[in-house]
């Protein structure tokens, strides 16, 4: 991976390490300690930290330092950077705030640091960022509340706090991450640099972006058009407070957000409106491939089937009729009151055999390219066994499958975990399955 010293350092120096509870310096160290790396604590006010020697300056360390993480007050940061340059560290992450985001003085400070590091050819992450996390190599160079599971999602965010919530939120979820980057003020590496890194990362199957502002829109567009990995993005900040003197209709209609949204579309990036949507879409894009055109739905509850159908139509997806052949195949296994159509309502008392027969029939229909299986928990439903049958079908047919196993009871959760660990995304609300399918459809339309 490019920028190996940032994303897989062998030795890390934490400048501003401290044992003080609830501090950024301590959080950084505790996260870093989870990986098996050589860590060096730099704190001139201590002789010892975390049971090891504490150094006054980076230059006091005799070993080579791949990555230096700087979490010191802003006015000390410049001299620390000078030390890092003298020491010839491999890369620098500046966690500290008080730079271009703060005031003019901070902007100058940032500008100077940025120039010096560029001259020394030392890559810079931040300043004013949460840090970076790379589960596959057990690297957590951030002060996030813990480390997320390893997986195939990558997240590049212009908000550090959102990353915090996402890391925490992921503890209850079945998805994991390959790379998480808090962009910060981007005085060195920029958002598009990280996008390139994620695109080249063999573990990354989908790139998620939280964006507040892009300075060089053209470069952004160019890079994102080239990137092969699917990208899903959410834009923070859609309303413009004031519009300057406008002399034309186009001037008034072409607001910053409208143009940005169109540019995302132009670049083949799928735009979503919430973090929940972002992960809904990312799960499907990361775990499955294949073309989506017309969708088949199997459900044991009519209401849920209707809700899903509405949501699919809303996303311009269509449900074809069941063919005679399909009906012939499944007829015998169905309840006499089954819906004989698509959505295929196999009635509330459906057991795994009926589920399997229905799903198999629907997914093998030639003009059905994707299957969604809804389960509403009823007295006789067997969620885990249903899940196993669905996973079996996924291995047999190569078409995309998503599930809507509704509810959150123990049995349902167990089944959902089984599904998702086997690459089948589950949505607890029928509506949530629609956008991901549209995203998958668009992905292969490019």
Task: Report, in Å, the least distance between residue 218 CB and another protein.
Answer: 6
Q: Does 217 bind another protein (CB under 8 A)?
A: yes
Q: Binding another protein by CB under 8 A: which of 161, 259, 380, 408?
A: 259
Q: Does 216 bind another protein (CB under 8 A)?
A: yes
Q: Does 120 bind another protein (CB under 8 A)?
A: no
| Closer residue to another protein (CB): 221 or 327 | 221
How many C-beta atoms lie closer than 10 Å to residue 75's C-beta? 11
Q: Please choose, out of 242-250, 292-300, 302-310, 410-418, the segment that lies near another protein by the rule CB under 8 A.
A: 242-250
Q: Token digits for 101?
A: 């985001």
| Closer residue to another protein (CB): 78 or 217 | 217
Q: Does 324 bind another protein (CB under 8 A)?
A: no
Please, how many CA atoms are within 13 Å of residue 15, restricted to the half-sphere of its CB? 30
| Closer residue to another protein (CB): 271 or 382 | 271
Rounded Cα distance, 434 and 439, in Å: 9
| Closer residue to another protein (CB): 45 or 248 | 248
Q: Does 121 bind another protein (CB under 8 A)?
A: no
| Closer residue to another protein (CB): 74 or 235 | 235
| Closer residue to another protein (CB): 156 or 211 | 211
Rounded Cα distance, 252 and 232, in Å: 28
Nearest to 225 by CA among 197, 265, 189, 284: 265
∠ CA 377-312-310, rounded to 5°:
75
Nearest to 436 by CA among 164, 202, 206, 179: 206
Rounded Cα distance, 29 and 27, in Å: 5
Q: Are 364 and 336 in contact (CB under 8 A)?
A: no
Q: Does 247 bind another protein (CB under 8 A)?
A: yes
Q: Does 442 bind another protein (CB under 8 A)?
A: no
Q: Binding another protein by CB under 8 A: which of 161, 254, 380, 408?
A: 254
CA 161 to chain centre: 14
Q: Please choose, out of 70-78, 209-217, 388-396, 427-435, the segment that lies near another protein by the rule CB under 8 A.
A: 209-217
Q: Token digits for 248?
A: 């034309």
| Closer residue to another protein (CB): 23 or 442 | 442
Q: Please choose, out of 207-215, 227-235, 276-284, 291-299, the segment that lies near another protein by the rule CB under 8 A.
A: 207-215
Q: Token digits for 77?
A: 């940061």
Q: Does 215 bind another protein (CB under 8 A)?
A: yes
Residue 423, Ramachandran bin (φ over 0: left; ψ between -120 and 50: alpha; else beta): left
Beta strands in 74-135 (DSSP E): 91-94, 124-125, 131-134
| Closer residue to another protein (CB): 220 or 418 | 220
Q: Token digits for 366?
A: 């030639």
Backbone angles phi, psi at 182, to 5 degrees: -95, 115
Task: Report, in Å, the least distance between residue 213 CB and another protein.
Answer: 8
Q: Does 248 bind another protein (CB under 8 A)?
A: yes
Q: Does 239 bind another protein (CB under 8 A)?
A: no
Q: Token digits for 13?
A: 């120096």
Q: Binding another protein by CB under 8 A: which of 116, 256, 335, 431?
A: 256
| Closer residue to another protein (CB): 161 or 259 | 259
Q: Does 268 bind another protein (CB under 8 A)?
A: no
Instruction: Specify the DSSP element, H or E, that contains 140.
Output: strand 139-142
Backbone angles phi, psi at 170, to 5 degrees: -70, -15
Q: Does 258 bind another protein (CB under 8 A)?
A: yes
Q: Please choose, out of 165-173, 211-219, 305-313, 340-348, the segment that lies near another protein by the rule CB under 8 A.
A: 211-219
Task: Report, in Å, the least distance between residue 437 CB and another protein.
Answer: 20
Pairing of strands 295-299, 231-235: unpaired
Cα-based distances in Å from 271 to 159, 163, 257: 17, 18, 12
Strand partners, 270: 232
Using the Cα atoms of residue 319, residue 283, residue 202 and residue 264 in order, give the sign of their dihedral. Answer: positive
Q: Please choose, out of 259-267, 333-341, 351-359, 414-422, the segment that lies near another protein by the rule CB under 8 A.
A: 259-267
Q: Binding another protein by CB under 8 A: which of 175, 260, 287, 338?
A: 260
Q: Token digits for 89?
A: 């560290």
> Considering all CA atoms of the chain, what is the largest pairwise distance in Å, rounded to the nearest integer?
81
Strand partners, 401: 371
| Closer residue to another protein (CB): 387 or 439 | 439
Q: Binding another protein by CB under 8 A: which of 76, 102, 214, 306?
A: 214
Task: Report, in Å, the least distance between residue 237 CB and another protein.
Answer: 12
| Closer residue to another protein (CB): 2 or 222 | 222
Site for another protein, rule CB under 8 A: 213-218, 220-221, 246-254, 256, 258-260, 262-263, 265-266
């Amino acid at each position: 991976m490019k920028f190996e010293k940032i994303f897989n350092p062998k030795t890390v120096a934490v400048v501003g390490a401290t044992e003080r509870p609830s501090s950024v310096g301590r959080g950084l160290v505790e996260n870093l300690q989870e990986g098996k790396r050589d860590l060096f604590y730099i704190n001139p006010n201590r002789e010892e930290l975390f049971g090891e020697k504490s150094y006054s300056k980076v230059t006091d360390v005799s070993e080579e330092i791949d990555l230096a993480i700087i979490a010191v007050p802003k006015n000390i940061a410049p001299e620390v950077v000078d030390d890092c340059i003298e020491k010839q560290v491999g890369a620098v992450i500046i966690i500290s705030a008080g730079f271009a985001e703060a005031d003019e003085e901070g902007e100058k400070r940032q500008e100077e640091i940025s120039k010096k590091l560029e001259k020394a050819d030392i890559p810079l992450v931040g300043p004013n960022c949460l840090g970076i996390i790379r589960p596959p190599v057990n690297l957590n160079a951030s002060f996030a509340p813990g480390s997320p599971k390893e997986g195939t999602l990558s997240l590049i965010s212009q908000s550090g706090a959102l990353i915090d919530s996402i890391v925490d939120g992921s503890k209850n979820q079945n998805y994991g991450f390959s790379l998480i980057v808090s962009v910060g003020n981007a005085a060195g590496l920029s958002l598009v640099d990280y996008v390139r890194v994620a695109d080249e990362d063999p573990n990354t199957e989908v790139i998620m972006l939280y964006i507040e502002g892009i300075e060089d829109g053209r470069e952004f567009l160019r890079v994102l058009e080239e990137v092969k990995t699917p990208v899903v993005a959410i834009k923070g900040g859609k309303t413009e407070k004031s519009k300057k003197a406008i002399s034309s209709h186009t001037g008034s209609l072409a607001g910053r957000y409208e143009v940005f949204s169109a540019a995302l579309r132009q670049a083949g990036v799928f735009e979503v409106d919430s973090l929940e949507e972002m992960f809904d879409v990312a799960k499907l894009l990361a775990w499955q491939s294949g073309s989506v055109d017309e969708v088949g739905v199997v459900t044991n509850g009519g209401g849920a089937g209707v809700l899903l159908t509405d949501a699919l139509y809303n996303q311009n997806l269509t449900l074809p009729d069941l063919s005679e052949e399909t009906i012939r195949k499944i007829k015998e296994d169905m309840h006499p009151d089954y819906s004989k159509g698509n959505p295929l309502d196999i009635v509330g008392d459906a057991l795994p055999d009926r589920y399997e027969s229905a799903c198999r029939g629907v997914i093998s229909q030639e003009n059905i390219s994707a299957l969604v299986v809804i389960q509403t928990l009823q007295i006789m439903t067997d969620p885990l066994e249903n899940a196993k049958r669905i996973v079996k079908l996924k291995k047999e047919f190569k078409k995309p499958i998503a599930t809507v196993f509704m509810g959150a009871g123990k049995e349902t959760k167990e089944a959902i975990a089984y599904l998702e660990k086997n690459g089948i995304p589950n949505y607890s609300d029928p509506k949530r399955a629609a956008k991901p399918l549209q995203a998958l459809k668009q992905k292969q339309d490019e």
